[in-house]
Structure 1
Amino acid sequence: MQNKVQLITYVDRLGCDNISELNALLQTELKGLFGGVHILPFFTPIDGQDAGFDPIDHTRIDPRIGDWDDLRQVSGHTDIMADMIVNHISAESVQFQDYLQRGKASEFYDLILTEDKVFPHGPTQEELAKIYRPRPGLPFTRFTLSDGTEKNVWTTFTPNQIDIDVRSEQGKKYLDAILRVFQGAGVSMVRLDAVGYAIKKAGTSCFMIDETFDFIASIGEKARRMGISVLVEIHSHYKTQIEIAKRVDYVYDFALPVLVLDTLFNRNASNLKKWLHVAPRNVITVLDTHDGIGIVDVASEGGKAGLIEDGALGRIVDKIHGNSKGTSRRATGGSASNLDLYQVNCTYFEALGRSEKSYLMARAIQFFVPGVPQVYYVGLFGVGNDMELLEKTNVGRDINRHYFTKREISERVDSEFFDRFRKLMLLRNDHPAFDGVFEMMETPSYTLHLKWSNSGDWAELFIDLEAMEMRIRFSRKGKAAELKLW
């Protein structure tokens, strides 16, 4: 994987109708900006109830946007990350429909995870209380089979997302088939979506238990033999994240987005610096993704202190809502059919009050901290909350999932804002210092000074938070140069 900025995008929301058009965009208007692209679920169908994260067929690209040959064209010049949805399949899948029709006689019987496979005698109230839930309610949905038998099927997320038994032979075959297809298409990294919930064991939280680590290690070993790296997507307490990072290829730095907001809102880098002293280095950094801005990653948990004190964290959330003039409240918590209670749904640009200066400071911090940075397609153009789409779908996360037109893309690529952002991305991609050694200079809490050095090359970021001024300096042919964004 190249140590360059990566793009996170849906195929059909970036002014493109298909993968071929996305490929063309990467080689024209966006040329040189991205060493890799995380293409969000492109499987059949891309427009399911969870925007592709409920695949009917995980080994087939939705024919409306292309095929595996089209994806291979992209992988010829750009690293591709693809989602491997290990926890569940669609209720409309051939496998689950066959299970409903034939029950135990179905060849997919072992693939479908039911309550009685984990709790043969039924779960106790104590066992149910232990199960870690990302969303309210029990993790089961009752289905009636064709013979009238009723079964409680594991549905960790929604009734349309049917959990699979990843430890069964059918489960292993299912996941192995996905890896083989990815390998053939030139996918260089897989993101294990919702993998923390994949292993269920009676009497445990059923989330990131010891057996989950064994499962991740098994997939990682198979993937590496195929030349594919593995990124694990886990939202959890920061100390848990540090431990997870020791045992996998890559994790997300999900603490960073809120810590950067804390730094800029409160003009104090203390919490960010504390994190950078202990943060894992094998990370993919983000400020925004297709999901909301995660809160649990910096919060306290079970008596363990978080990276930000809970009261201060509450004020940061309130500040986000204030900066968005309340629009983010309409997409967060129990609003707008939203079930991700630990996230704030809002574009990062909107969270910063639509301040281009603050936003570019935030991106500069992201690009200078350790890790491979990713930029979400909405954040690429610095746009606000899409209230029209939210009102149309009543899905909270759609506030940050805008459908750009070709004309919008053309206009934004030509904007002054994008020209500034482009310069910042090109510096991060092209300067050799970022392949070297990271240093965080000792400075007062109201300043942040980050530096990279590689032999005689260097690049440094200095931010005076009291004055809200930023300076980026770097070596150029043995002399000092400066990147001026305004």
Structure 2
Amino acid sequence: MLQKVEESGRLLERVRHHVEAIYHDTPIAMDHGELALALLELMGLDQHSDTRPAYVNHWSQRDALMITYGDSLLRDQEKPLVTLKQFLDDHTDGLLTGVHILPFYPWSSDDGFAVLDYSSVNEFLGDWGDINTIARDYDLMADLVINHCSGRSLWFENFLRGESPGKDYFFTASPQDDLSAVVRPRTSPLLREVETAEGTRHVWCTFSHDQVDLDFRNPDVLRQFVSIARQYLDNGVRIFRLDAVAFLWKVPGTDCLNLEETHEVVRLLRTLVEHAQPDALLITETNIPIQQNLSYFGNANEAHCVYNFSLPPLLVNTLVTGDCSHLKLWMMSMPPAQSGTAYFNFIASHDGIGLRPAEGLLSDEELDALVETMHRFGGHVSHRALENGESKPYEINISLFDALQGTTEGPDQWGLERFVCAHAIMLALEGIPGIYIHSLLGTRNDYDRVEHSGHYRAINRHQWSYPHLKAVLSSEDSIHARVFERIKALLSLRREQSAFHPNATQFSLHLGSALFGFWRQSIDRRQSVFCISNISDQPLPLALSDISLIGTDAWLDLIGGAHFHSRDEVVEVQPYQTLWITSI
């Protein structure tokens, strides 16, 4: 009994430490100990909660997630979440262990990221029973849209009326405040003027005027989100994606990005979630320059995973220029993730190809050339506001399949091979892979959705008729079927290689600017895989002696099936071909 008291006492003190660090400089009077106890109670943790071991890897090479909207697949007379589950069961052959369902709550704009009610499932999609059904068979990632909510939510309506809950939930500022340094990803005015029961107020809107920023200086807001996290755990959520969390804490006069209080909120949520559900994970969605992004690992005490946001722009740039120099330098600069943490790798998403994470890695001229190439392939570009009032490209909006249909010279015949090459590289890199449903299916730019919605991001948010998709995937002549089968084949190979564990060793190979290569070694050192991709449109020779193969071993390319018996062999690597070479 004494041991239990000591352990739970440490947990309470740990939570209190987080609370004190968050609220050390806020004007609201509070008892930090009482707030800590209240948070433990909301999460279902009490005086007898045991501490949990830290630094545990809850993942392996068998893990891969699909990223999708709840309504990406539609069938008449059926809730989309039911259709989604049917697709996962019938078509992914057990190769996907998890699914990230983008916001499935009632919403007013931004395709779900202006949440009306965090506690409900959008009735068009289904209900909590459908969410639970998916979560029973797949690791479920859900968005905790923590920075803002809908300007039409009950909370915000109550804010306008001066009623609770919501009266003090939203961050306000004065137009006279020094806001010149504030970093944000949009060009719309930061402050929205509204009339409230207490007079004119100016509410803070990092993204849009329908996405009103919450004020975490009010501990009641924190209580609400801890309660929401508990509800999500109870409904099967095991991975929390902390949406736009970098903007959470605001201090006028600063850039209001990645402030220490924001990091402390992440640490607090980590403590609460991992004690309530030991295998639950936090992943931070921080689309910012690389060093700022990496800071959300903390000392292995913040996010379990961070998005590898620099990977999409660098990999696309590599494949359209035929030069891997920047990608290789970036990979060499990336520190190995500590035990208990991992990178979350992706190369396409519901948003677009973010350009901020490439700042400092690609020159302005190279970024301009990338933007121009994507324009030629049918893409659009979203902008963000700068301190001087000007704007700068922030994001390329294009389907990945169209983005890789050619090079800087224009479209060519290598689109499919280039697209598969991108996924072969991503699947072999250190980290956990996430594959957007429209990459899995090779979906093209959807211009009709752009026109209908008025938003560039809709270009990569196609909705498939599920009966039509089934017919397409059963056709041998379909490009979508060919993409789907080839990516599934890569996933099948990946999950059997211990060298592809998300935390396995990774070293760069130096094979010139047109051959991109790296070496993975399993944690137990029993397997090595040499991953080499020709990122050019010309065949290239690869001397096996250049990749340090042991001469006494026989080697196999896992993808193509070729055997190698001498390190003196020279292999011709075809345009956009990838080799995964391991000993046999």
Displacement after TM superposition at 1:366 (Å): 0.7
Displacement after TM superposition at 1:76 (Å): 1.5
In the alignment, which residue of structure 2 is the partner of 1:207?
A: 257
In the alignment, which residue of structure 1 is the partner of 2:180?
A: 129
SS of the equivalent of 2:312 reads: helix
In the alignment, which residue of structure 1 is the partner of 2:194?
A: 143
Q: Does 1:398 align with 2:474?
A: no
State the alpha-carbon separation in 1 of the partners of residues 422 and 314 from structure 2: 10
From 239, 255, 270, the counterpart of 1:220: 270
In the alignment, which residue of structure 2 is the partner of 1:85?
A: 145
From 223, 228, 236, the counterpart of 2:288: 236
State the alpha-carbon separation in 2 of the partners of residues 345 and 297 from structure 1: 15
Q: Report if the CA contact (8 A) 2:190-2:206 is conserved.
A: yes
**Deviation digits for residues 276-300 of structure 1, max 9, x if unmatched?**
112243211111111111111011x
1:98/1:466 Cα in 2 relative to 1: closer, same or farther (>3 Å)?
Answer: closer
Larger-gyration structure (1/2): 2
State the alpha-carbon separation in 2 of the partners of residues 244 and 291 from structure 1: 21
Q: Counterpart amino acid of 1:136?
A: T
From 154, 160, 173, the counterpart of 2:204: 154
Q: Does 1:328 align with 2:379?
A: yes
From 109, 113, 116, the counterpart of 2:171: 113
1:148/1:185 Cα in 2 relative to 1: closer, same or farther (>3 Å)?
Answer: closer
In the alignment, which residue of structure 2 is the partner of 1:164?
A: 214
From 297, 311, 317, the counterpart of 2:371: 317
State the alpha-carbon separation in 1 of the partners of residues 507 and 94 from structure 2: 27
Q: Report if the CA contact (8 A) 1:235-1:297 is conserved.
A: yes
In the alignment, which residue of structure 1 is the partner of 2:307?
A: 252
Stretches of structure 2 lacking an aligned partner (at least 5 in a row): 1-57, 385-390, 407-414, 475-480, 562-576, 578-584
State the alpha-carbon separation in 2 of the partners of residues 428 and 190 from structure 1: 25
Q: Counterpart amino acid of 2:118?
A: H
Displacement after TM superposition at 1:83 (Å): 0.3
Q: Report if the CA contact (8 A) 1:189-1:230 is conserved.
A: yes
State the alpha-carbon separation in 2 of the partners of residues 176 and 209 from structure 1: 20
Displacement after TM superposition at 1:132 (Å): 1.3
Q: Report if the CA contact (8 A) 1:135-1:341 is conserved.
A: no
Q: Does 1:376 align with 2:427?
A: no
SS of the equivalent of 1:452 reads: strand
SS of the equivalent of 1:289 reads: coil
SS of the equivalent of 1:2 reads: coil
In the alignment, which residue of structure 1 is the partner of 2:485?
A: 419
In the alignment, which residue of structure 1 is the partner of 2:96?
A: 34
State the alpha-carbon separation in 2 of the partners of residues 62 and 466 from structure 1: 45
Displacement after TM superposition at 1:18 (Å): 2.5
SS of the equivalent of 2:468 reads: helix
Map 1:350-365 to 2 at 5 A: 350-353=402-405, 355-365=415-425
In the alignment, which residue of structure 1 is the partner of 2:125?
A: 65
The 10-residue stretch of structure 1 (128-137 or 79-88) with the greater mean CA deviation from structure 2: 128-137
Displacement after TM superposition at 1:481 (Å): 4.7
Q: Report if the CA contact (8 A) 2:309-2:357 is conserved.
A: yes
Q: Does 1:6 align with 2:65?
A: yes
1:438/1:55 Cα in 2 relative to 1: closer, same or farther (>3 Å)?
Answer: same
State the alpha-carbon separation in 2 of the partners of residues 242 and 484 from structure 1: 35
In the alignment, which residue of structure 2 is the partner of 1:119?
A: none
State the alpha-carbon separation in 2 of the partners of residues 71 and 136 from structure 1: 36
State the alpha-carbon separation in 1 of the partners of residues 393 and 120 from structure 2: 32
Displacement after TM superposition at 1:333 (Å): 4.1
State percent identity of aligned pairs. 26
Question: TM (normalized to structure 1)?
Answer: 0.88
State the alpha-carbon separation in 2 of the partners of residues 272 and 467 from structure 1: 18
Q: Counterpart amino acid of 1:255?
A: S
SS of the equivalent of 1:28 reads: helix
State the alpha-carbon separation in 2 of the partners of residues 94 and 26 from structure 1: 35
Q: Counterpart amino acid of 1:39?
A: I
How many aligned residue pairs are there? 458
In the alignment, which residue of structure 2 is the partner of 1:173?
A: 223
Question: TM (normalized to structure 2)?
Answer: 0.74
SS of the equivalent of 2:84 reads: helix
Q: Report if the CA contact (8 A) 1:87-1:193 is conserved.
A: yes
1:212/1:340 Cα in 2 relative to 1: closer, same or farther (>3 Å)?
Answer: farther
Displacement after TM superposition at 1:405 (Å): 0.7
In the alignment, which residue of structure 2 is the partner of 1:188?
A: 238
State the alpha-carbon separation in 2 of the partners of residues 23 and 384 from structure 1: 23
Displacement after TM superposition at 1:149 (Å): 2.0
From 3, 25, 44, the counterpart of 2:87: 25
In the alignment, which residue of structure 2 is the partner of 1:263?
A: 318
1:31/1:142 Cα in 2 relative to 1: closer, same or farther (>3 Å)?
Answer: same
Q: Report if the CA contact (8 A) 2:159-2:169 is conserved.
A: no
In the alignment, which residue of structure 1 is the partner of 2:346?
A: 286
Displacement after TM superposition at 1:186 (Å): 1.6
From 505, 514, 523, the counterpart of 1:446: 514
Q: Counterpart amino acid of 1:140?
A: L
Displacement after TM superposition at 1:417 (Å): 2.7
Stretches of structure 1 lacking an aligned partner (at least 5 in a row): 117-121, 300-305
In the alignment, which residue of structure 1 is the partner of 2:494?
A: 428
State the alpha-carbon separation in 1 of the partners of residues 559 and 463 from structure 2: 32
In the alignment, which residue of structure 1 is the partner of 2:44?
A: none
In the alignment, which residue of structure 1 is the partner of 2:556?
A: 480
State the alpha-carbon separation in 1 of the partners of residues 272 and 181 from structure 2: 31
